[in-house]
Amino acid sequence: MVKDVFSPSRRGFLGLAGGAAALSAMGAAKPATAAVQTNARIVIVGSGAAGTGLVNRLVQRLDGAQITIIDGRKQHYYQPGFTLIAAGLKQASYSVSNTADWHPSGVNWVEDYAAEIDPEAQRVTTQGGEKIEYDYLVVATGLKLNWAGIEGFELDQVGQNGIGAVYAGPEYAAKTWEAMDRFTDKGGVALFGRPATEMKCAGAPLKYTFLTDDYLRKKGTREDSQIIYAANNGGLFSVPVVNEKVKLLFGERGFETRTHHILTGIDAGTREAYFRTPEQHSVDANGIVTVTPATEQKIAFDFTNVIPPMIAPDVVRESGLAWEDKWVGQGWLEVDQETLRHRRYPNVFGLGDIAGVPKGKTAASVKWQIPVVEDHLVASIEGRDGTEIYNGYTSCPLITKVGRAMLVEFDYQNRLTPSFPGVIAPLEELWISWLMKEIALKPTYNAMLRGKA
Amino acid sequence: MKQLTFETLIAVFEEIFGRGLFWAMVVTAAVITIAYLYVLIRDRHLSARKFLLAQMFMPMGAVASVIFVQTVTHSSFADIGGPVDWIVLLGVAGAGAVGTAILVYTIQSLTKGRQTAE
């Protein structure tokens, strides 16, 4: 015999339903911030993650502004997906959408590339010759992958002769997977590294090294293989505590690290990579300076992931807006690292990869930068000072095998800044961090593009 | 995370499943929950017999939900790396088990009609 264990009333049911309705109504309520009235002309150069995310927020904050976004590319790339494509886990289409689909209504999209920025005349000229004047300019061009900086390398080599190039785009990432898949079937020498310039997502070269190792192990060919990582300087990652962890993992996985190797050329025929090791000075305990002269090195490979030097696009380097005494030759925009406002032209902002700040060339950084530029720009229009500060937040779900990652987050001071302190340890290889990369990251990114995150 | 608000979460879930599928799932879950509450109130008690059968489906629901999550995320039990991973795994299993139990109980109640307490 069983007695009634739960005996709710109709009134109770109605109460519950009412509560649920109230909750859902609360969720739908939006913060009521009045839009700022203005007729300012705002030009955003670039409709990648940064430009698109910002324009969607500006249209919510401003009423009457003439906003123009300039970008000739019809396709939008979800770049954090490239690693997953190159690991055979996603199709190339995973990272591709239409630029137009992300634009809010009421914004003028000029489907052309900027050819000239004149900050004195406050004017942007497109490649097609259209001249667009602005009161405020946001430079969000992204960066340029300088393939010409690798002698002997052509993009059409990707996918053959063991050559991969994950950064080159979704199709090239897919071709890189084909090459990696073939390589890991047999094994051999896998060669990885990173350029000596600033670069986007400095964790990506490491991730791909770990992923190739994982496939070699899964296919039983790791024993017959050698994995070489040619670092551009003495370390593996710019944040010291992360660097130590990566060094430990490299040791555990049996990777061979070569330091101070800067890739200069590739010979696809002979499958050799050429490196320059710069002159180095060291001082011993007696104060005696030893000079190691610069050398040229050659490393043979069966599979490699070519990552070129990364620099600012020509339009920025020739605009007079770039740093002259920092990152010489790379041309990043001279902005204040906390406000992202140009140091010489206060009506110009830098957002995303192009910003000349010491950290932050990731989509996660863009997510933190957008509210800062938005705040200072809207404040300027209102004639007050903005208050938001960008602290250098950069995030990298550092994949260490298929199924595990370390959720590494840090700021300008190289402090770890975990989003979930005490729950998700930043330097532990965890499944939950992998789940975030695989499921939650793209939706969060898309929400950011729509100006909602 | 810069801003983790309820609205952001909804936006993220809409992006994960697509707006149509996400809200269809929310509506489905809401309908099942309301149907469950409805049969509880209609019958004015929790039938132990139906609950027993529902419980028998719980392990199936737990296993199915874990396999589903592992399949869509290309991962396996070997990827469990720390306590938080076990908590996530148990959470997924628990959600699958409870969801299945509620579903099975509700289906029985709706199809077999009202039963008096034994």
Interface of B with A (CB under 8 A): 1-3, 6-8, 10-16, 30, 34, 37-38, 40-41, 44-46, 48, 69, 72-76, 78-82, 84-85, 88-89, 117-118
A397 to chain B nearest CA, in Å?
13
Mean pLDDT throughout A6-22? 43
Parallel/antiparallel/unpaired status of strands A62-63 and A114-118: unpaired
Instruction: Yes or no: say if A394 and A364 are a contact pair by the CB < 8 Å rule.
Output: yes
Place A188 in a pLDDT band, splitting at 50, 70 and 90. Answer: very high
Given this model, what pLDDT does residue A15 score? 45
Domain span at residue B21 reads 6-112
Class of domain A147-309: alpha beta
Question: Is a pLDDT exceeding 80 seen at residue B5?
Answer: no
Would you call B75 and A403 a contact, using CB atoms and an 8 Å cutoff? yes
Mean pLDDT throughout B14-42? 87
Given this model, what pLDDT does residue A19 score? 44
A361, HSE (Cβ side, Cα atoms, 13 Å): 24
Range list of β-strands (E), A259-377: 262-267, 272-277, 280-283, 289-292, 295-300, 303-305, 310-311, 348-350
* B contact test, residue of A431, A433, A434 with most B CBs within 10 A: A431
Residue B118 in any domain: the answer is no
Q: What percent of chain A stands above pLDDT 90?
A: 87
In this predicted structure, which of A81-95, A158-172, A187-201, B20-34 has the lowest mean pLDDT? B20-34
Region of A119 (left: φ > 0; alpha: ψ -120 to 50; beta: rest) is alpha
Instruction: Yes or no: say if A435 and A441 are a contact pair by the CB < 8 Å rule.
Output: no
- For chains A and B, CB pairs below 8 A equal 114
A431 vs A11 pLDDT, higher one: A431
Given this model, what pLDDT does residue A27 score? 41
Provide the domain count of chain B: 1
Given this model, what pLDDT does residue B115 score? 57
Q: pLDDT by residue (tens digit) across B91-104?
A: 999 999 999 999 99
**A321: three-class secondary structure by DSSP:** coil
What is the C-alpha separation between A187 and A219, in angstroms, rounded? 9
Mean pLDDT throughout A129-146? 98
Q: pLDDT by residue (tens digit) across A193-235?
A: 999 999 999 999 999 999 999 999 999 999 999 999 999 999 9
Residue A115 near chain B (CB below 8 Å): no
A354 burial (CB, 10 Å; 0-12 / 13-18 / 19+) is buried
Q: Residue A141's closest CA among A332, A330, A412, A376?
A: A332
Question: Is a pLDDT exceeding 80 seen at residue A24?
Answer: no
pTM given for the model = 0.88
B116 vs A408 pLDDT, higher one: A408
What is the C-alpha separation between A425 and B87, in angstroms, rounded? 14
A245 burial (CB, 10 Å; 0-12 / 13-18 / 19+) is buried
Mean pLDDT throughout A421-441? 91
Residue of chain A whose alpha carbon sits nearest to that of B92 = A432
Residue B40 in any domain: the answer is yes
Question: Is a pLDDT exceeding 60 seen at residue A323?
Answer: yes
How distant is the alpha carbon of residue A55 from its chain centre?
19
Nearest to B84 among A10, A367, A432 (CB): A432
Domain residue ranges of chain A, discontinuous segments joined by +: 36-87+96-143+312-382, 147-309
Given this model, what pLDDT does residue A282 score? 87
Q: Residue A360's closest CA among A199, A133, A135, A166?
A: A199
Mean pLDDT throughout A102-112? 96
Place A12 in a pLDDT band, splitting at 50, 70 and 90. Answer: very low
Query: Could you say which architecture CATH assigns to the domain A36-87+96-143+312-382?
Result: 3-Layer(bba) Sandwich (3.50)
Residues 361-390 of A with CB under 8 A from B: 367-368, 371
Do A147-309 and A36-87+96-143+312-382 have the same topology in CATH? yes
Nearest to B45 among A7, A393, A402 (CB): A7
Residue A22 near chain B (CB below 8 Å): no
- Which single residue is written with the structure tokens 């079937």? A185
Q: Residue A449's closest CA among A44, A51, A45?
A: A51
Given this model, what pLDDT does residue A438 score? 87
Q: What percent of chain A stands above pLDDT 70?
A: 92
Q: Residue A412's closest CA among A363, A342, A352, A365?
A: A365
- First-to-last alpha carbon distance for chain A, in angstroms, is 55
H or E element in which residue A405 lies? strand A404-410
Question: Is a pLDDT exceeding 90 seen at residue B2?
Answer: no
The pLDDT mean for chain A works out to 92
Place A431 in a pLDDT band, splitting at 50, 70 and 90. Answer: very high
Given this model, what pLDDT does residue A33 score? 66
